Amino acid sequence: MSRFSSISLEEMNSVALMKRTDTKFVINKEQLLAVLSKIDDQYKVLEIKKDRIMSYSSLYFDTDDNKFYNDHHNGKNNRTKIRQRKYVESNLCFLEIKQKNGKGETNKSRIPVSDFEVDLSKSSTAFISETTNEVYNLEPSLWNGFNRITLVSLKNKERVTIDLNLSYKMNDIEKKFENLVVVEVKQERFNRNSAIVKALKVLRQHPYSISKYCIGMVSLYNDIKYNVFKKKLIKINNITA
């Protein structure tokens, strides 16, 4: 990562892209090195206090019948994910709501919270109801941790997140995917001329729909439907082998 120029968190805010199109790819760590070597003059890397690889911790919420998970599994176009996420190096924590519509667009809303709330506060519950126009009885469903590299394009309104060392935990059950890399290209509209998309295509890597939340749920719970994700799990296991 030393070959990339740096960008500060403040500078990156101009490419926040709270309303965007997200395109994901899954590769292994060895492939990641090949991709980064091809694009180091096309992107800047987020740097905070001299750190370029950040630590993230998330707590996801769902209903007692796993509505958010099942909506994704069942292919519902309009779906929601609710989580609290801590940006460890920045010591910031947010309640975040991601809403996906039938056009493939993702709208992200968030408010700061002081720390993780296993029991959601009144203000957090009110924000969820105002944002979703629904009243949910939510409870923690999944802890997730990972490291992230964030790139910002020099030419386009585009950000790229590269997630490594994914781990999941709930009720003393834990699963790690140490060799898996999830690359997510965030744009106003998907642009195949993106430098990283082209670099991934050279490695015969194409967009691949995947949800870190759903993979974690499948990995930790054995009493939920997962037939739609079977092929994805096989692909992930092949990558991480």
| Confidence at residue 196, expressed as pLDDT on a 0 to 100 scale | 96
| Confidence at residue 9, expressed as pLDDT on a 0 to 100 scale | 85
| Confidence at residue 20, expressed as pLDDT on a 0 to 100 scale | 75
Provide the residue type at 107 as one letter.
N
On whether the CB atoms of residues 53 and 60 are closer than 8 A, the answer is: no
Gap between the Cα atoms of 105 and 241, Å rounded: 33
Mean pLDDT in order along the chain per 10 residues (241 residues): 88 71 91 94 93 96 96 92 93 94 84 97 98 96 97 91 96 93 90 92 90 92 89 85 70
On whether the CB atoms of residues 148 and 161 are closer than 8 A, the answer is: yes
Contacts of 16 (CB under 8 A, 6+ apart): none
Determine the number of helices (DSSP H) and then strands (DSSP E) in the chain. Answer: 7, 10
Residue ranges of domains in the chain:
5-240
pTM across the whole model: 0.87
| Confidence at residue 15, expressed as pLDDT on a 0 to 100 scale | 62
For 55, what's the count of Cα atoms within 13 Å in the CB-facing half-sphere?
Answer: 5
**What's 5-240's CATH class?**
alpha beta
| Confidence at residue 96, expressed as pLDDT on a 0 to 100 scale | 98
| Confidence at residue 17, expressed as pLDDT on a 0 to 100 scale | 63
| Confidence at residue 72, expressed as pLDDT on a 0 to 100 scale | 92
| Confidence at residue 105, expressed as pLDDT on a 0 to 100 scale | 78
